[in-house]
Chain A
Amino acid sequence: MSSSHFYSSITKKIIMSLMGLFLLTFLLVHLTLNSFLLFDKNLFNEGAHFMGTNPFIQVFQWVLFAGFAIHILYGIILQIQNWVSRPKGYKKRAWMEQSPFSKYMIYTGAIIFIFLAIHLGNFFFVKMGWVGNGVPELGGKEDMGQLVIDLFSNGGYVAFYVIMFLLMGFHLDHAFQSAFQTLGLNHPTYWGFIKGLSRVYAIVVTLGFVIIPLVIYFR
């Protein structure tokens, strides 16, 4: 298979890393919004309302979907080419990867994709009125917070959600610093810091997303 059909190897990686960095930023925004739910449901509803009506965000959400689609598409192309590059494997292969989760990016990526589909089905599609019974209302306004709280009162769903986010954390731990390396931003003076920041990002984002459903469930 000639990779020139899908741009050079480095171009592919650069596209993936830019989309990936965009997704990493989006996750922070999403987490911030979710965290409102811990303090005040109305604040969360206002945030959700803003996200659901602001024209800029409305356009932006399609950019976000495109970002996901491109990242996923290139992730799959890249992985297939990489499998093809070694038609016969080794009998014995030691663990040599220095960024541990780099080994499983396609699998953790697939997990994120499955979660994403379910997640959209639970919230976005309900909100758009494509599935389910619509969003509960409170004083004539959409009560997105209640929709979330209802889901998180189901122990099975909470467990599923927590496991999915732990697995996503593995993707993020490699992803953050990898994007910098791909974009050529590796300087001996800052590299240790970037790697550290990558781990901190992965831990903070994962714990953040995991704590919210747990708090709601046990509250």
Chain B
Amino acid sequence: MDLKLKIWRQASPTDKGQFVDYDVHNISTDASFLEMIDILNDELIEKGERPVAFDHDCREGICGMCSLYINGHPHGPEAATTTCQLHMRKFKDGETVVIEPWRAKPFPVIKDLIVDRSAFDEIIQSGGYISVTTGGVPDGNSIPINKEHADLAMDAAACIGCGACVAACKNASAMLFVSAKVSQFALLPQGKIEAHDRVKAMVAKMDELGFGNCTNTYACEAECPKEISVANIARMNREFIKAKLG
């Protein structure tokens, strides 16, 4: 298949940047979206031009590195899919595809389609962990965990920290990401101990970094490749209220 691409090119964080048009030809419908850009980049290198910089790592939907805002959607138009798992058969022959970086104040563009997502790391560092003192490994069955909570914690822990929720949200809010991290701990006995401090610290960090306020548009849930539920945001709000009152 043939495609017309409109790609955001920006040489450095301070460069103004602009959209550049590219044509790609004979792309296999079985190629992934990233492979399609690989092909374009090979052609650009052959021509002596600068290849398009983009993030990727595992290419199997688990690391959260790939990004790209494709035709108006983070990770492209297909639901519950990362860009590395998006196939070209989801596009029409001859279609124009607009490719942009994530846009949010806390995610500055480094180069072309690569943004700096270390703001998420800072949020994790502010409280997204449990403190353990090393020693003997406790018996796994000594702490009973109810099945429902274990499942909900697993669902929340599926978040790969890709930032699509922020990219999708009209407010550039990080609430879905932060609430997934808060929830995965708050639901389990080991995480409950520091739950109050954790939620306060992580929310404060999220605000400080300049992410927007959630207005419950639920765009994040619709665009999340791991289908993290906005019920996690409600849980985080409950945790936050408990922490403030308690």
Contacts and interface: CB of A to CB of B under 8 A. Distances in A.
B170 A98 contact: no
Interface in B102-126: 103-106
A182 B218 CA distance: 12
A191 to B, nearest CB: 8
Interface residues of A, number: 43
A184 B241 contact: yes
Nearest to B107: A86
Contacts of B29: none
A82 B172 contact: yes
Contacts of B207: 2-4, 8-9
Interface residues of B, number: 49
Given A78-B213, A99-B218, A9 B203 contact: yes
Contacts of A151: none
A99 B233 CA distance: 15
B215 A84 contact: no
B98 A13 contact: no
Given A12-B213, A90-B100, A98 B208 contact: no
B100 A13 contact: no
Interface of B: 6, 8, 19, 69, 71-73, 77, 98, 100, 103-106, 168, 170-173, 175, 203-204, 206-208, 210-219, 221-223, 230-231, 233-238, 240-241, 244
Interface of A: 2-4, 8-14, 78, 81-82, 84-94, 96-99, 102-103, 105, 174, 177-178, 181-188, 191
Given A8-B240, A82-B213, 20 more contacts: A3-B208, A4-B207, A10-B203, A13-B213, A82-B171, A85-B172, A86-B103, A86-B170, A88-B103, A90-B103, A91-B8, A91-B98, A92-B100, A93-B72, A94-B71, A94-B77, A98-B218, A99-B218, A185-B234, A186-B234
